[in-house]
Structure 1
Amino acid sequence: MTARVRTTLAAACAVALSAALAAPAVAAPAVHGHDATDRALRAAVADGVPGVTATARTDRRTWSRTAGVGDLRTGEPRSERDRYRVGSITKTFVATVLLQLEAEGRLSLDDTVGRWLPGVVEGHGHDGDRITLRRLLNHTSGVYDYTSDEGFVRDHFGRDGFAEHRYDTLTPRQLVAIATAHEPAFAPGARWEYSNTNYVLAGMVIEEATGRPYAEEVRRRIVGPLKLRATSLPGTRTGLPQPSSRAYSKLGGTATDPTYDVTRLNPSMAGSAGEMISDSADLNRFYTALFRGGLLPAEQLAEMTTTVPALPGASYGLGLIRRDLDCGVTVWGHAGGIHGSSSEAVTTRDGRHALALNFNGDWSGDSQAVIEAEFCGD
């Protein structure tokens, strides 16, 4: 199984974490055009990605471009309006809801997981009473990542396992149980390590605090108010709403191995760690609203953008990745990967310049090059 495929769900954001340390955020330079972005999109297709769709937003102006195909069988091109699985970009939505609940006084990020989910995070050294909600959101909890479990990888990422299990329904408690069958990765707070289990637990906490499923709270608090008409939380629904393209994967093979259509799957394997569907325009609208103060009070937005060192050259806030680009521009957002889909959504700290993009293949393509081109190119 290639590293690219294994990071599809287990650590998709880690592939995109780059060039972001604790330098102050700077505003984007004047945008003269998107020629460099266009070239980077076409280069991704030349590198083997079936197709790509991207939309940039600068103040009130939008620019969209597609390259490649959305259907390898028919040759139908991708659409600027394509809806696609956004994977771990879901995490920013989940973190936003938890921060809203904190602002309302319904919980504190310094509460322990054990307080809200007694008995759920235990076994093999896990102890929910030692883990705060904040440590879930910034990936310093040490809770084992269920998508690293050998059986989960075999059943959901390999060719034969995916064919057999692609329509299985997995509950949040089942996903957490997979994680807690292992020892923790480290003691709470000892370091940073990406774990999808953290956000499965965060979704469970939202339900305990509100009495409603996390997906309902995301719809009620974010999707509805921002009129994100292309954004959905599918639960166990296996298809993609239209308009959309097909999604493709090598399912553990190399770039020269067969390509499989993985469009239909049960996204409960990702749940509140990565089940959402959206389009580029909606993602830009969401991140712009978030950073312009439309979703969180200033105190909670400051918490969200307080980062810890992650991978070399990268830092992680609460459901947010911070990156400093080669030209000195700082962008915030998240990467997202799930079978057949690799996405990015980023914006400058002032919300004035945003970009969202999607590859409908999970084994190639340089999304960082597209981001650098958009914010630093001609």
Structure 2
Amino acid sequence: MFVRTALVAATAVALSAALLAPAAAAPAAGHRATREAVRTAVAAGVPGVTATVRDPHGTWSTTAGVGDTRTGAPRSASDHYRVGSITKTFVATVLLQLEAEGRLSLDDTVDRWLPGVVRGHGNDGRRVTVRQLLDHTSGIYNYTSDDGFARTYFLKDGFLRHRYDTLTPAELVALAMRHAPDFAPGTDWSYSNTNYVLAGMVIKAVTGHSYAEEITRRVIEPLRLTGTVVPGTRTTLPSPSSRAYSKLADTATGPTYDVTALNPSLASSAGEIISTSADLTRFYQALLRGRLLPAHQLKEMKTTVPVPGDPHSAYGLGLIDRTLSCGVHVWGHDGGIHGSSSTAATTADGRHALAVNFNGDWTGDPGTVLDAEFCGD
């Protein structure tokens, strides 16, 4: 998740013609458990849910609840939404493509590409590798856990004053550098959004282009992800979209606020992307089918480390391997940002994929919809 911690909501270039062609709808009788999980989430307090599945039967979508609590307008299967940390898979894909092209090594130190950036309070970019950024074994402090940052951008008074601030990647990293590392590089695992802000900066150092330009050129355009954008400082969502809601508090009680409009530079390359459920399923299917990475780089991406405290998840390079309740393994990522909670995943063969979004961030677990789709009926 882009928000303060990861995996909380879950515990918490060639394309085939078939991928690009419109797919027939799945049989109406299917996905009973998925429909039920979506309805249950709304009954438990999520304003609205949208989900899309791609499988050998075609493409199927379902929605429940509202996209606008003021007007009662329903959610749409075509909604654009902020995907949060699902952005990390896009970033890791670009870096692995650059490795395949011989333009960098994942074992390069961060200091090689960003000299002097990771320094102070025990931080040393000469001891941290690009690989350790991507699999969260760097030990670098997560800037979104900083108390001052949280008060300013996650809690009501701060957010309502600062929602349109522009923050640079350098500023976000500098905030993390005020804190000592969580552990020595390579000795443990801890989710840190700072890792992926640095990863985006490495992409620019290697290519001379922003991470947004490289994702657009290398992933979005080849896959024809027409609903996916890297918004930069754009504060609004493309149409169609629903409103996004948050309590802007550490509790799930109290008033609800519309947080749809915000400057996503606060998430940078750790969680900035906007997409749709249809695009996310297409992306993860293409990725796991080897259409974005050579076999060696895809194997690297799927080489995982354990996630402490979560025996059902392991983390690769911008990719989560999750074991569901029925024993099925799926590969994908979760994403959380103000007013938006999402998950997207596919089976290892890319044949069966799901992406789901809740337009509220204080209740519910999109992982229940994931489990229902792959383990239910």
State TM-score, norm by structure 1. Answer: 0.93
Q: CA deviation at 1:132?
A: 0.4
SS in 2 for 1:335: strand
**Paired residue type of 2:316:** G
Q: CA deviation at 1:361?
A: 0.1
Deviations 1:17-64 (CA, angstroms, capped at 9, x unpaired): 58xxxxxxxxxxxx9720000000000001100000000110350110
Matched, 1:339 2:333: no
Match of 2:222 among 213, 220, 225: 225
Q: State the distance in 2 between where 1:76 and 1:269 align.
A: 29
**Paired residue type of 2:338:** H
Deviations 1:86-109 (CA, angstroms, capped at 9, x unpaired): 000000000000000000000000
Q: CA deviation at 1:13?
A: 3.0
**Paired residue type of 2:142:** D
1:145-164 aligned at under 5 Å gives the runs 145-164=142-161
Match of 1:13 among 7, 15, 20: 7
**Paired residue type of 2:203:** I
Partner of 1:251: 248
SS in 1 for 2:369: helix
SS in 1 for 2:59: strand
Partner of 1:33: 30
Q: CA deviation at 1:374?
A: 0.2
SS in 2 for 1:15: coil
Matched, 1:270 2:264: no
Say whether the 8 Å CA contact 2:2–2:193 is kept in structure 1: no
Matched, 1:353 2:347: no
Q: State the distance in 1 between where 2:105 and 2:6 align.
A: 28
Q: Is the deviation greater in 267-276 or in 7-16?
A: 7-16
Q: CA deviation at 1:253?
A: 5.0
Matched, 1:80 2:61: no
SS in 2 for 1:43: helix
Q: CA deviation at 1:290?
A: 0.3
Q: State the distance in 2 between where 1:128 and 1:254 align.
A: 37
State the percentage of identical aligned residues.
Answer: 69
Partner of 1:364: 363
Say whether the 8 Å CA contact 2:83–2:341 is kept in structure 1: yes
Partner of 2:296: 299
**Paired residue type of 1:361:** G
Partner of 1:279: 276
Say whether the 8 Å CA contact 2:152–2:162 is kept in structure 1: yes
Q: Is the deviation greater in 259-268 or in 366-375?
A: 366-375
Say whether the 8 Å CA contact 1:8–1:339 is kept in structure 2: no
Q: Is the deviation greater in 304-313 or in 96-105?
A: 304-313
Deviations 1:318-340 (CA, angstroms, capped at 9, x unpaired): 00011111111100100000000
Matched, 1:195 2:192: yes
Q: State the distance in 2 between where 1:9 and 1:320 align.
A: 17
Q: CA deviation at 1:110?
A: 0.3
Q: CA deviation at 1:12?
A: 4.0
Unaligned 5+ segments in structure 2 are 13-26
Change (3 A) 1:320 1:274: same
Q: CA deviation at 1:8?
A: 6.0
Partner of 1:326: 325
Say whether the 8 Å CA contact 1:248–1:263 is kept in structure 2: yes
State TM-score, norm by structure 2. Answer: 0.94
Partner of 1:241: 238
**Paired residue type of 1:360:** N
Say whether the 8 Å CA contact 2:51–2:77 is kept in structure 1: yes
Q: State the distance in 2 between where 1:162 and 1:352 align.
A: 41
Q: CA deviation at 1:193?
A: 0.2
Unaligned 5+ segments in structure 1 are 1-6, 19-30
Deviations 1:117-158 (CA, angstroms, capped at 9, x unpaired): 000000000000000000000000000100011100010011
Q: CA deviation at 1:254?
A: 3.1
Say whether the 8 Å CA contact 1:44–1:365 is kept in structure 2: yes
How many residue pairs match? The answer is: 361
Say whether the 8 Å CA contact 1:81–1:280 is kept in structure 2: yes
Partner of 2:137: 140
Q: State the distance in 2 between where 1:324 and 1:358 align.
A: 20
Q: State the distance in 1 between where 2:264 and 2:11 align.
A: 24
SS in 1 for 2:353: strand
Say whether the 8 Å CA contact 2:5–2:145 is kept in structure 1: no
Q: State the distance in 2 between where 1:224 and 1:40 align.
A: 33
Which structure has more RCO (C-alpha within 8 Å, separation ≥ 6)? 1
**Paired residue type of 1:11:** T
Change (3 A) 1:150 1:73: same
